[in-house]
Amino acid sequence: MRRLSVAAVALVAACASAGAPPGGPEDHEAPQIVKVTPDSGETNAQVKAVEFRFDEVVSDRPSSAGATVSSLFMISPRNGATEASWHRSRITVRPQKGFRANTAYKVILLPGLADLRGNVRRDQASVLFSTGRDFPQFSIPGRIFDWTAQVPAARGYIEAVSKTDTMVVYLTMADSAGNFDVGPLPNGPYLVRGVIDQNNNRVLDRGEKWDSLTIVITDVRRPVELDAIERDAVDSGINLWARSSEG
């Protein structure tokens, strides 16, 4: 049997270690959105569900304990619970009661979606479309604070409830600095509520910190501030303590 010299063995080993491992380089990138249907900005959209398509297979188990794929999405305005269906590299999202006619919608993908290797999306993404001819002109920007801790309330849950039609509720989630912008929505009076939603169920539960105020939107977008503290009055998630302001 012919034997390799020590130098030859070293050369073979060096060549072998210089190459990439089988299967290509290890993936450390979170799933990226490659397409959303309908397109953002689309009007007169005929849609039964919104589809988010990714550049790889995503996990049907979000990174947060107890979370579901549906809990990673918000549909504003609300029309029943958000329902999401997993299809390997795409997820379809719809409101339980369907999309209303002549309504502008924002569908939000929250942080927490992971791929099969555990790489997690840390950013929020959204698509805005209308089932009617145009979009409302207004929104409500603001910031929510944890008053007790004296810090911004990262990922605080925000609702803006139309006081002319309390069945119309706009939703959003504050970012890591407590900033939010809920809408688009038409002018009029709104009850704006913010909750430090500890169990992520999007309901105001006893012991959770919250704040609310009433704002009347006329022709400006004036920022609001919510100072969340623990309060006594809770009635099925509806705040009984509402401050009033004109805007």
Q: Report the CATH number at residue 41.
A: 2.60.40.3710
Residue 4 lies in a domain: no
Write out the residue range of the structural domain in which residue 36 sits. Answer: 29-135
Which pLDDT value is given to residue 23? 55
- Domain membership of residue 2 (yes or no) is no
Q: Indicate whether 240 and 144 sit together in one domain.
A: yes
Q: Are residues 127 and 196 in the same domain?
A: no
Residue that the structure tokens 């589809």 belong to? 51
Q: How many domains does the chain have?
A: 2
Domain boundary residue, one of 117, 135, 153: 135
- Using CA atoms, how far apart are residues 196 and 185, in angstroms rounded to an integer? 23
Last residue of a domain, one of 135, 169, 204: 135
Cα four-point dihedral sign 139, 194, 122, 223: positive
Domain contains 155: yes
46 part of a folded domain: yes
Instruction: Give the pTM.
Output: 0.82
**Vertex 126: Cα angle to 219 and 37 (nearest 5):** 115
For residue 8, is it within any domain?
Answer: no
Q: Is residue 50 part of a domain?
A: yes
Tell me: do 225 and 152 sit in the same domain: yes
Q: Which of 120, 135, 150 represents a domain boundary (last residue)?
A: 135
Same domain? For 44 and 129 the reply is: yes
> Cβ(96)–Cβ(79) under 8 Å?
yes
Does 144 lie in the same domain as 47? no
Task: Report the candidate in 221, 163, 229 with the shortest Cα–Cα distance to residue 194.
Answer: 229
Give yes or no: residues 89 and 195 share one domain. Answer: no
Do 130 and 141 fall within a single domain?
no
Tell me if 18 is assigned to some domain: no
Q: Are residues 141 and 218 in the same domain?
A: yes
Q: State residue 127 phi and psi, 5-degree precision.
A: -130, 140
Specify the pLDDT at position 24: 54
Residues 199 and 162 in one domain: yes
CB distance 110 to 173 below 8 Å: yes
- How wide is the angle at C-alpha 183 spanned by C-alphas 182 and 187, nearest 5°? 115
What is the number of alpha carbons within 13 Å of residue 40 lying toward its C-beta? 12
CATH number of the domain enclosing 244: 2.60.40.10
The reported pLDDT for the residue numbered 19 is 39
Torsion of CA 106, 170, 134, 38, to 10 degrees: 20
* Per-residue pLDDT at 11: 32
One domain, residues 144 and 242 = yes
Averages of pLDDT over runs of 10 residues in the chain (247 residues) are 39 37 69 97 97 97 83 96 96 97 97 94 96 95 96 96 92 96 95 93 90 91 92 51 41
User: Are 244 and 171 in a shared domain?
Assistant: yes
User: Looking at the domain assignment, is residue 169 inside a domain?
Assistant: yes
Task: Please tell me whether residues 189 and 229 are part of one structural domain.
Answer: yes
Q: What is the pLDDT of residue 26?
A: 73
> How far is 132 from 102, CA to CA, in rounded Å?
4
